[in-house]
Structure 1
Amino acid sequence: MNLDVNEAPSQTGLAWLPLLIGLCLMFGITAYPKVLIDGSGRADHLAVTLAGWAMAAGIVRGVGFVPRHRVLRWVLSATACVSCLLLAGLRLYLVRG
């Protein structure tokens, strides 16, 4: 696994989809935090972690920052944003189901 930190990022500039996802999560979770509770009324920590990751990745990638380090580039990518959002939704669906 080559982790060349000097490798230049491929794309920069605003990415609207992850930015909108990140901002919607930021405002949505702030306004209505009960969306991240499980069936028994407790916080679902895995769903909260995944939603927080999706929010952070969406905002970071959305404003145009692309890390040079390959692992961080993946962790803060648009793909990670959408994947974590879908996994958080699936987790909440299964827990409440």
Structure 2
Amino acid sequence: MSTATEPDTGTRIAWLPLLAAIAITLGITANPRLLADGAGSADHWAAMALFWAMSAGFVRGVGFIPRQPVLRWLFSGWACAVGIGLALLRLL
């Protein structure tokens, strides 16, 4: 049994999803044209997948793990990888 003064040792920083989220944030901020299709218009599906990956990367990266199974998967490191993969498939 833990008290309020003891730190929770079960959560740790997950560096790979956190670095991926930071890279997505900086990349899209510096060059938003990365989310445009061949015609130059915004690709909303690619943006949604990449921003989901960014959100999942930040949530899992800082060590937060949701209790509900669906949210746990939606904000996992694997979800970050799936979001990046979907965005790449859409844009390439």
TM-score by structure 2 length? 0.88
Greater RCO (CA < 8 Å, at least 6 residues apart): 1
* Residues 53-86 of structure 1: CA deviation (Å, up to 9, x unaligned): 0000001100000000110000000000011101
In the other structure, the counterpart of 1:5 is none
Deviation at 1:92, TM superposition (A): 0.2
In the other structure, the counterpart of 2:60 is 61
- Structure of greater Rg: 2
> What is the CA–CA distance in structure 2 between the aligned matches of 1:17 and 1:86, rounded to whole Å?
15
Say what the alpha-carbon RMSD is for the aligned residues. Answer: 0.8
Alignment size in residue pairs: 83
Pair 1:50-2:49 in alignment: yes
TM-score by structure 1 length? 0.83
> What is the CA–CA distance in structure 1 between the aligned matches of 2:63 and 2:81, rounded to whole Å?
16
In the other structure, the counterpart of 2:17 is 18
> What is the CA–CA distance in structure 1 between the aligned matches of 2:17 and 2:52, rounded to whole Å?
12
> What is the CA–CA distance in structure 1 between the aligned matches of 2:85 and 2:16, rounded to whole Å?
14
Q: Give unpaired runs (5+ residues) of structure 2.
A: 1-9
Identity %: 54
Q: Give unpaired runs (5+ residues) of structure 1.
A: 1-10
